[in-house]
Amino acid sequence: MDLKITCIPGDGIGPEIVAEAKKVLDVVAEKYGHDMQYTDILMGGASIDVHGVPLTEEAVETAKSADAVLMGSIGGDTTTSPWYKLPPNLRPEAGLLGIRKALNLFANLRPAVLYEELAGACPLKEEISAAGFDMMIMRELTGGLYFGERKTVEENGVRKAIDTLTYDENEIRRIAIKGFDIARKRRKKVTSVDKANVLDSSRLWRSVVEEVAADYTDVTLEHMLVDNCAMQLVKDPAQFDVILTENMFGDILSDEASMVTGSIGMLASASLNDTKFGLYEPSHGSAPDIAGKDIANPIATILSASMMLRYSFDLDREADAIDAAVKQVLQDGFRTGDIMFEGCEQVGCKRMGDLIVERIK
């Protein structure tokens, strides 16, 4: 298969971790008979330095012409970087918002996995962490409270702020379909999270999700109120497979789930549109303080590349090979500094990439 991938190295440690992900993709392509075609574009601070804006129209068109986008981290030190003296619409993060909008990326995927080898970093009690967990949080990314009408007014001398939460059935249906499709690639269980006991938008959400579920009789559906879900994530995270939810709830729950894994350096993510196209990136930031020192953890970006193979190209075997190689490296006792434990061998960014490549071969 010919795979056309646009790469955004980004800022800080971004170029280092993307380089390691490409190294892994190349060995997968060689082993399984694929052709990887990469085109790099600038975004974020790197684009500001060259073009004066965080994202150019030319970069967007290049991304649109690809089958998928693999991205490192963007941004810099908000207190010292000249990028953050610019107006908000010209700062690095504006590029990320711009490309999400231009590519119509409405479905955000945030896996949260607790590897047995890293259970000691989990903040939960041992009797909970011992069970491990592997969940996928599916967050609707372009609707809801964050994108509704908002205003601040003064009434009778009192300031009043208004934010509007709006969803239509088509917005709900398309994210639900994505959620059930992804559940079919996993353990075939969807937990739809809402606040249907209070909100009309949640009652519509629940109704549409049930309509979609009728077409996926092989997938189990359960409903859970968001407050209960927040509690269950720290009480019994192993119960979850795919958590399907709206924008604000997903924003909060995905951050909670990432915290209980013990290391954000291990967490991949993806944003998909209504085709197979997606943008894949690590959940962590650009870590400018360690950029260029060969100490960054590339695993989140490598696992993002695995997600790209699985969800944009349906190459499950190849994605499984990457996931298994990462797990084997951890079992063999190799760690970057952020996940280092006593008795393990500390390695740098490049060496970690090499170790994963060796185990794929």
- Active site amino acids: 146, 195, 227, 251, 255
CA distance 128 to 112: 15
CA distance 346 to 289: 19
Alpha helices in the chain (DSSP H): 14-32, 45-51, 57-64, 92-102, 126-129, 169-184, 200-213, 226-235, 247-261, 299-311, 316-331, 349-360
Tokens of 222: 């359960």
**Residue 161 neighbours by CB distance under 10 Å:** 8
Tokens of 278: 């997606």
Residues 6+ apart with CB under 8 A from 80: none
Contact at 8 Å (CB) between 139 and 244? no
Residue with tokens 């995905």: 254
Helix (H) or strand (E) holding 155: strand 150-155
Contact at 8 Å (CB) between 74 and 92? yes
- Distances from the Cα of 318 to the Cα of 240, 269, 327, 359, angstroms: 25, 18, 15, 13
User: Tell me, what amino acid is at 179?
Assistant: G
Question: How many angstroms from the chain centroid is the CA of residue 187?
Answer: 19
